[in-house]
Structure 1
């Protein structure tokens, strides 16, 4: 038989068919179930050994990488474990993490202010009772001696993170709590009823130096100035109402306290009972991931108030140079980029302290003209006696709001650090704490000069005790 007598050749590769996608997957259904169980077991062990790491901003990324590193090596020896198989592995790991965060503990933070649980009538009733309890909880009169003493005897949520840092930072917190003094700055809001809407006046006062004007150019002042604006933007965005509850003391740990920026009190809102923490950013990048100190602050607030959720709101406000620039950028309420805009009336009192009056978010241009006239007359009247300085025209360039859930597992496994630190504070308030004072520059220079006067080769050593902050000079 000659070659020409052969029939047409058939490429057998063309005849190979795949019945379903399941045939080419590395992990079948049973393997997925088995691997998921293994993942969940290893995750639980990992968290128990790395409980402090939950507070770190990169926790979820580190969590994923660590579990993968522990588990993937057993598959890499298989020549059939291809890149596609590894992608399957990653997908199963991600699904397992979702399951872990639903059953064992919540995520460190969500990517938005989402609704994770629907409020039942029973839940609403419980929240109503808890908010009433918080509202009626005894507190000293603001700015009284008892009020300052009360706050000085608390590790507040905003500085609690220092208890989980290095020895130098712990030392700083201990010194702060032992070194009793009045705060440098105080703020409070007044509400003036104006028509159908409320007008907020922000008052910022110096308490220790009443004759010295406030520095309005600091990032601290910027954050305080725009806090009412952030509250109004939050209320407008989520159609809810925020209420201030003052400084609240923990029921069990009396040395812990929290001053949340507010709590949702609208029973018709799906966010009813959710706390609010605000950070008004000047230079830092906003990425939607709470920094460690902010995450710890929110956990302390939720534990103190016995509430399960907190919205973390970050805002970046930009001020226009003039009213003309404000007018040229979009409409009266929105910029060309659909960023919300607004106006703050800035006054000074006789001592030079700033007073801010805030235009309601949805007030239109015609309403504002009448409102502005009324506010100028009222604030500069004999009753108030303020001097108008200027109007501040702003826009919210970045509005980032993410949900953080209460993590009782983290708190229960870390509260001992707070107990131990406060025990040190109580002890050293009696025995003495000045060894923890920051080293002054002139003392350091004197030690350096003394060191320079020593003969070369004497073996003089400087050692810094990070716990006490003291510098010791020793000679070999």
Structure 2
């Protein structure tokens, strides 16, 4: 019988034996080993496989410990008044690219001014779309990977008060060890084209988030969500297996569903039903929902997704952390200095004038908008 590493890996993965000698003896029996050379090959492979299993076990254990620490933090909810106030006091991961002058949506000076002056956050159509469908994308990710996503607010860096991050979610410890404490960053771009690689300003954002939470990896999930023209179009888009209708699935076997938008004092909020519901269940859910201040009811579908694993890059962080400190020190020096603030405004005004002269008019107004919150 030929000795193959892949076969031995499978044998040891399914076996409950963790002891080196017992594993070697068992495999020598299975492969009917006849000489020392064959035994040596088995010993070498077993040693490598068991060391890898132990390394993974240690990694999962460490991630669970970090996750438990994060769960104990008392944090403001995302997009709460406390959350916005805390964001003004420090640089956050979503603005990291801007702070180190590597973002084309906003200048470093504009970011400084936004943290000095008390200007209300005004969402644009891109960011509002992302807020509206982020929870749908999270449910989709949970379904794909058999995990449960935990929501976190703004997490301050434990040692670097200048910096913080608001991850979209982190996988809970639900038994799927390869995903435990994996961070998830969600993007639901209505216009931007999908790419296999992560756009660099988002990659920098993820690096900042991983550093704050002391985690190893993050799934960067892009989900394309479209809205049906009406309920009739929703009804026509179906998926069947052996003639049996699959609830809440499109012809491509992606999720579809409905979202209720509420509008109160010009502020929008959203209400979602869980995935894979029948049309009858969805209508019952709509009827049982709060009917006050309903702005619109939209039937939606997922048409595409792209998931890219981003691994923590400690060297990149080390090379850029001084720039973060410089931004933070500039923020502190500008805050109580009206003269410097006016100089900052003058610089921004000059930048905008130059930009208008240099840049051609965009073909699409969405080109001017980032899908990232400030």
Q: Deviations over 1:30-64 (max 9, x none)?
A: xxxxxxxxxxxxxxxxxxxxxxxxxxxxxxxxxxx
- Equivalent residue pairs, number: 290
2:223 maps to: 315
Q: Gaps spanning 5+ residues in structure 1: where? A: 1-115, 186-214, 381-385, 445-476
Q: Deviations over 1:75-103 (max 9, x none)?
A: xxxxxxxxxxxxxxxxxxxxxxxxxxxxx
2:202 maps to: 294
1:396 maps to: 302
TM-score computed with the length of structure 1 as normaliser: 0.56
1:405 maps to: 311
2:370 maps to: none
CA 1:326 to 1:122, structure 2 compared with 1: closer, same or farther past 3 Å?
same
Question: How far is the alpha carbon of 1:369 from its aligned partner?
Answer: 3.6
Question: How far is the alpha carbon of 1:135 from its aligned partner?
Answer: 2.3
Q: Does 1:368 align with 2:317?
A: no
Question: How far is the alpha carbon of 1:276 from its aligned partner?
Answer: 0.6
Matches for 1:251-262 after TM superposition, within 5 Å:
251-262=158-169
Indicate conservation of the 8 Å contact 1:311/1:404, yes or no.
yes
Question: How far is the alpha carbon of 1:224 from its aligned partner?
Answer: 0.6
Indicate conservation of the 8 Å contact 1:148/1:182, yes or no.
no
CA distance in 2, matches of 1:400, 1:118: 31
Question: How far is the alpha carbon of 1:341 from its aligned partner?
Answer: 1.3
Question: How far is the alpha carbon of 1:179 from its aligned partner?
Answer: 2.8
Question: How far is the alpha carbon of 1:440 from its aligned partner?
Answer: 5.0
1:359 maps to: 273
1:435 maps to: 343
CA distance in 2, matches of 1:240, 1:410: 30
Indicate conservation of the 8 Å contact 2:148/2:174, yes or no.
no
CA 1:360 to 1:117, structure 2 compared with 1: closer, same or farther past 3 Å?
farther
Question: How far is the alpha carbon of 1:170 from its aligned partner?
Answer: 2.3
2:9 maps to: none
CA distance in 1, matches of 2:71, 2:179: 18
Q: Gaps spanning 5+ residues in structure 2: where? A: 1-51, 240-246, 354-374
Indicate conservation of the 8 Å contact 2:210/2:218, yes or no.
yes
CA 1:171 to 1:346, structure 2 compared with 1: closer, same or farther past 3 Å?
closer
Question: How far is the alpha carbon of 1:143 from its aligned partner?
Answer: 7.5
Select 2:65's aligned residue among 113, 121, 129.
Answer: 129
Indicate conservation of the 8 Å contact 1:163/1:418, yes or no.
yes
RMSD: 3.0
Question: How far is the alpha carbon of 1:405 from its aligned partner?
Answer: 0.5
Q: Deviations over 1:86-143 (max 9, x none)?
A: xxxxxxxxxxxxxxxxxxxxxxxxxxxxxx9998444333222212222222435877
CA distance in 1, matches of 2:190, 2:249: 21
CA distance in 2, matches of 1:283, 1:244: 26
Q: Does 1:346 align with 2:261?
A: yes
Question: How far is the alpha carbon of 1:417 from its aligned partner?
Answer: 1.1
CA distance in 1, matches of 2:283, 2:273: 11
Select 1:156's aligned residue among 92, 96, 118.
Answer: 92
CA distance in 1, matches of 2:294, 2:307: 33
Q: Deviations over 1:258-297 (max 9, x none)?
A: 0000000033122110001111111111012111110000
CA distance in 2, matches of 1:145, 1:137: 18
1:265 maps to: 172
Runs of 4+ aligned residues of structure 1 deviating over 6 Å after TM superposition are 116-119, 141-145
Select 2:116's aligned residue among 167, 175, 178.
Answer: 178
Select 1:224's aligned residue among 117, 126, 131.
Answer: 131
CA distance in 2, matches of 1:395, 1:144: 28
CA distance in 2, matches of 1:367, 1:317: 21
Q: Per residue, is there more helix in 1 or in 2? A: 2
TM-score computed with the length of structure 2 as normaliser: 0.70
1:414 maps to: 320
SS of 1:413's equivalent? helix
1:325 maps to: 233
Question: How far is the alpha carbon of 1:158 from its aligned partner?
Answer: 0.4
CA distance in 2, matches of 1:144, 1:387: 20
CA 1:237 to 1:136, structure 2 compared with 1: closer, same or farther past 3 Å?
same
Indicate conservation of the 8 Å contact 1:156/1:258, yes or no.
yes
CA distance in 2, matches of 1:236, 1:130: 24
CA distance in 1, matches of 2:78, 2:250: 39
